Amino acid sequence: MLTESRSARPQAVDEHKRRSMSRQRSRDTGPEMAVRRRLHALGYRYRVDHRPLPDLRVRGDLVFTRTRVVVFVDGCFWHRCPQHGTSPRHNGAWWRAKLDINVARDRATERSLAKDGWRVVRIWEHETPDDAVARITAALGPPRSAPRAAAPHHP
Ligand SMILES: [Zn+2]
């Protein structure tokens, strides 16, 4: 049986740090949900946690297939936010290498997507929903259809 070895992973120093370093984002609560609700209310439609390219092993947090825009909501720690990105001192070399790989992978993903005509918007987890929505809608342009209330069905 194949199990992933977790023994190489050093323990985080304290609970606060452990939580801020957690990979597990609560996708359906909090700021990301606020961003999604606002975009939807503005008339934008998107896919959530979707692969923009079938042969690229990456899922966008929000994917606008028609306009070819991918939004990633990045954790400040894992993606080295310029304001909050830190390198833990404990096991520093291990973490530096790991985070370097993450950031390099982000850039490689952007290049692969750009080659196929996709644009990437990266939102930091610390950004307010207002700021995030402003940046996303700037990339998208106006929604294709204005929000409308209960369109009548064709008979
Ligand atoms: Zn940050």
Question: pLDDT tens, 136-154?
Answer: 999 999 998 665 555 556 6
pLDDT tens figures, 96-133: 999 999 999 999 999 999 999 999 999 999 999 999 99
Q: What is the DSSP string of 59-84?
A: -EEEEETTTTEEEEEE-TTTTT-TTT
Classify residue 74 as left (phi > 0), alpha (psi -120 to 50) or beta: beta
Report every protein residue that has its C-beta within 5 angstroms of ion ligand 1: 76, 81, 83-84, 124, 126
Determine phi and psi for 47, rounding to 5 degrees. -105, 150
Domains and CATH numbers, the chain: 26-140 (3.40.960.10)
pLDDT at 103: 94
pLDDT tens figures, 37-60: 999 999 999 999 999 999 899 999
Helix (H) or strand (E) holding 40, with range, is helix 30-41
Is residue 18 over pLDDT 70? no
Question: Which of 122, 145, 151, 9 is CA-nearest to residue 66?
Answer: 145
**What's the CA-to-centroid distance between 80 and ligand 1, angstroms?**
8
**What's the CA-to-centroid distance between 148 and ligand 1, angstroms?**
36
Please state, for a pLDDT cut of 90, what percent of the chain lies above it. Answer: 64
Which amino acid does the sequence have at 121? V
Helix axes 30-41, 129-140, angle to 10 degrees: 40
**What's the CA-to-centroid distance between 82 and ligand 1, angstroms?**
7
Residue with tokens 């939807």, as numbered in its chain? 40
Tokens of 114: 């750009």
**Three-state SS at 50:** strand
Q: What is d(CA 144, CA 67) in angstroms, rounded to the nearest whole number?
A: 10
